[in-house]
Structure 1
Amino acid sequence: MGVGRSAGKAAKKNNLGSKVRAKRRARGMTQAELARRLGISASYLNLIEHNQRPLRAELLLSLAREFGLGLDDFASDDDHRLGAHLLEAFSDPLFEEHPLNSAEVRELASTSPAVARAVLTLYEQYQRARNSLAELAEDSYARQEITGEVDGSERLRQATGEVLPSEEVNDFIQRHMNYFGALEEAAQRLWEDAKLKRGARFAAMAEWVERQGIGVQLTSAGEGRLIRRYDRDLRRISLSEALPPSSRNFQLAAQIALIFHTGLLDELSEDDGLTTPSSRSLARLVLANYFAGAVLMPYGRILDSARSQRYDVELLANRFGTSFEQVCHRLTSLRRPDAEGVPFHMIRVDIAGNISKRFSASGIRFARFSGACPRWNVFRAFQTPGMPRVQVSTMPDGERFFCIARTVAHGRGGYGTPQTTLAVGLGCPLSHASELVYADGMDLEDEDAMLPVGVTCRLCDRGDCEQRVLPSLRQPLRIREDVRGVSMYSTTEV
């Protein structure tokens, strides 16, 4: 009896019944027809679809076979993420006259995911068009003032709402939880075939490539701005000598993937979520970079080292001859079902707050349509370049995370060459913090030491935040002319 109730609660929490109903309707099947195929009564299927009965393992397997799906298609994380993105979209002031609560939005995402994705796509197109038209107006005004010309055809084309390839690829990586077993296997084969060893990987990889009839050469730092090039006619890979050794190794490994595993990259990038040639091409490059990280830091070795060194990123970078950022990337990909590492999230930002990379296995939410919370330590890392910063964060929903952040420099080396400073943040649920060396000496139970952070201002209802720049969606805006709180939109009574 107790087990049944627990299973029922789990089914309700995961909304598996709603998924079954959505997939049945998508195939034009009646409840009676599906029930007959599953060998259960129509009334019992009706209870399952309304999350009133648990979806037993044998039924889940039967449903997967019936619909020609994998078990991953019934995972609940996608619904949660879809609901979160939808809630962020509805936080736009555009919808202020149409108040929706979070329960209604999440129900839409759970029971009608196709409709929810359509709404989200429509909002994304609206956002893109609005931003492009604003840029067009600014550009046209500036051009008219300077030259008297107005030429915004390219901006107008963008305003029609083409999907950004980077967003589709980010979603693609998130759906796969940043783990690609086939690339891991291919990387392991290269490690063994090329007899790679720590400290001599570039020479070993170059020798292996040359045995395949392709040359490898280093080019002078003064020969243009290219850092990697493959000449298909001459069958020659050229890499800039200005690259630091970690980047040189990484670029050579990535090019090996692009040359020798093109079929695998094509197969993996044939994904329904990648809707344009540009998205699929970008996905191929991202997958080639994944392969490179797996070559330089083989799964078993990096996982064992991470555990023994308690996820000390700097020590791991020294051990594997890689960079701080490369190690952070690799740690997020340790998601093999039978040998998982700490579930990390990762974010990379520039000093202007633009997010150039994001992935979450920890459960933390990143903003999709607006800037992130400035209280995140990834932004404060710019105040102490090169020094790791730690933070225990508590989100508005009560979830808690342990995060580290540090700046990283991007450049080709050499005097006078431009350097770009970015900040990389790596974090995990607070329950895993004790596994990280960065948590040593910290009282992880100290409520006063936990910094309240949010996703974006519009989705955060904390009224006492001095860095708030927009009113909260959940709090009515009440301006009191004679009282000023920590911000203009503070809701704290003074």
Structure 2
Amino acid sequence: MSRSTLTGSRIRERRTLAGLKQADLARLVGISAAYLNLIEHNKRKIGGKLLVDLARILQVEVGSLTQGVQSTLVEGLQNAGAENGLTDVFVETDRIEDFANRFPGWAALASRQHEHIKALERRIEALNDRLAHDPFLSEALHEVLSTVTAIRSTAGILNADDDIDAEWQARFHRNMYEDSQRLATGTQDLVRYLDTIGKENETPDTPQTAFEAWLQQQDYAPALQSDPNDAAINEAQQNERAQSGQPVLALSSPAARSLADGWMTRAKQDADQMPLSTVLDVLEQFGPDPAALAKRTGADIAAAMRRLATLPPTQSGADCGMVICDGAGVITFRKPLEGFTPPRFGGGCPLWPLYQALVRPMTPVRRVVELTGQPARKYLAYAICQPKAHLGFDAPEVLEATMLFVALDRATGPMLQDLPQDVEAVKVGTNCRVCTRAACPARREPSLMGTENRA
């Protein structure tokens, strides 16, 4: 694994290697455990006497916690080498540091190009998702085509040999002018809309995307009145965001607010059943294991997955992604992870454990999945399908499937204890249009990215 370029992450890594609990280290340096938590998750800057005290307790040099630009270059090259998808190119990983020292400019260029390629790959996935399923885009294209057809029809009438009354000619010319203005405005809006897809400043355009953008700005953990600890951490994050000048998104439409209200009601119920102190205790012993949390609190597994995925980021221990779909397989909620971005519209890969659980209600599913890409990445995924609502006897069953996933290299030891050593990863993609596996038995349409002859 590459070394972290962030001081807080290095402090956490050194503390873990030293076998110290967060509360113990905080007490030794005279700060609260909550403040140390913020430091370790790079939410607070650190320096001066506190940094010296931490280095002394951890028995390391201060410089090893505050590595400079050279370390950043080395780590960027390490990441590029580790994620090299070209099997015919050998990377001398043992000489990366020497290369960075001798040619820092070339090292910075290679590292930035690697990050740029990753950003382009994410944007291609987002564009494909929009082009294939976005209702707003379909409506916009329909409007453009309708306007073009109207202009063509009017031009055909004016071009005919039949004599047209001067008054009607004026009307047709006025209609053509108005339609051309509407076409120019519509195409400009469409170009601007497509240009924002996959970018950080993407503008929400539907209630669902507006709700997702709002929840993402809250780090998927909006403050809950039922848990003061959650609220305090969220308030600190909001203050930090305001001081940095970041804009605060507002839910302007009633539909988006309705989605947010429904989510908050559910999140509050989950927090009431699974208090933060209990969740943190489970995380300390078992890591983000939804079965362990459900067993400790008596909650159902899907609720435990939601609680783990929407913890305040400074408390989660390991970043968790989550996908929820309805009984038709349509994704209704998603929390992406770096390297694993579920599609926003439509459905995902049929081989996801999410869909395996959908056909086996109430049966928990756990799989190691390998996401195709450059390079392939492995994740530990948990999934379960449960009734969303009990409507009574003889009523149709309303089902909902939930999948929690965490990068395998970030999964804690207890989560892997009962996992077979020789377990084979299930090869999956995000969806067929950007998946490169040609021999996939679940493929439903050709890939835009080309295909590889890999099973």
TM-score, normalisation: structure 2: 0.52
Percent identity, aligned pairs only, is: 22
One of 206, 209, 212 as aligned partner of 1:170: 212
Displacement of 1:438? 6.9
Q: Quick check: 1:347 aligned with 2:326?
A: no
Residues 1:352 and 1:280: Cα distance change in structure 2 (over 3 Å): closer
Q: Which residue of 1 aligns with 2:367?
A: 391
Q: Is the 8 A contact 1:382 1:423 kept in 2?
A: yes
Displacement of 1:9? 5.5
Q: Is the 8 A contact 1:179 1:333 kept in 2?
A: yes
Q: Which residue of 2 aligns with 1:188?
A: 227
Q: Which residue of 2 aligns with 1:327?
A: 304
One of 396, 405, 424 as aligned partner of 1:427: 405
Alignment of 1:278-427 (within 5 A): 278=254, 279-309=256-286, 311-337=288-314, 339-361=315-337, 363-397=339-373, 398-412=376-390, 414-427=392-405
Residues 1:86 and 1:129: Cα distance change in structure 2 (over 3 Å): same
Q: Which residue of 2 aligns with 1:252?
A: none
Q: Quick check: 1:464 aligned with 2:435?
A: no
Displacement of 1:454? 0.5
The answer for unaligned runs of 5 or more in structure 1 is 15-46, 55-76, 96-122, 135-159, 192-263, 477-490
Residues 462-471 or 294-303, more deviating: 294-303
Q: Distance in 2 between matches of 1:287 and 1:395?
A: 31
Displacement of 1:455? 0.7
Q: Distance in 2 between matches of 1:422 and 1:92?
A: 22
- Three-state SS of the structure 1 residue aligned to 2:226 is helix
Q: Distance in 2 between matches of 1:451 and 1:345?
A: 18
Which letter maps to 1:87?
Answer: I
Q: Distance in 1 between matches of 2:265 and 2:405?
A: 24
Alignment of 1:425-464 (within 5 A): 425-435=403-413, 437=415, 440-443=418-421, 449-464=424-439
Displacement of 1:462? 1.0
Which letter maps to 1:294?
Answer: A
Displacement of 1:439? 5.9
Residues 1:274 and 1:432: Cα distance change in structure 2 (over 3 Å): same
Q: Distance in 1 between matches of 2:318 and 2:141?
A: 40
Displacement of 1:458? 1.4
Q: Is the 8 A contact 1:351 1:379 kept in 2?
A: no
Displacement of 1:289? 3.6
- Three-state SS of the structure 1 residue aligned to 2:322 is strand
Q: Is the 8 A contact 2:380 2:408 kept in 1?
A: yes
Q: Distance in 2 between matches of 1:80 and 1:292?
A: 41
Q: Distance in 1 between matches of 2:265 and 2:359?
A: 33
Q: Which residue of 2 aligns with 1:479?
A: none
Q: Distance in 2 between matches of 1:328 and 1:132?
A: 41
Alignment of 1:134-145 (within 5 A): none
Displacement of 1:93? 11
The answer for unaligned runs of 5 or more in structure 2 is 1-62, 80-103, 146-189, 194-203, 231-238
Q: Distance in 1 between matches of 2:395 and 2:139?
A: 34
Q: Distance in 1 between matches of 2:121 and 2:214?
A: 17
Q: Quick check: 1:126 aligned with 2:165?
A: no
Q: Distance in 2 between matches of 1:295 and 1:433?
A: 26
The RMSD of aligned alpha carbons is 4.7
Displacement of 1:336? 3.8
Count of equivalent residues: 294
TM-score, normalisation: structure 1: 0.49
Residues 1:292 and 1:474: Cα distance change in structure 2 (over 3 Å): same
Q: Distance in 2 between matches of 1:350 and 1:83?
A: 30
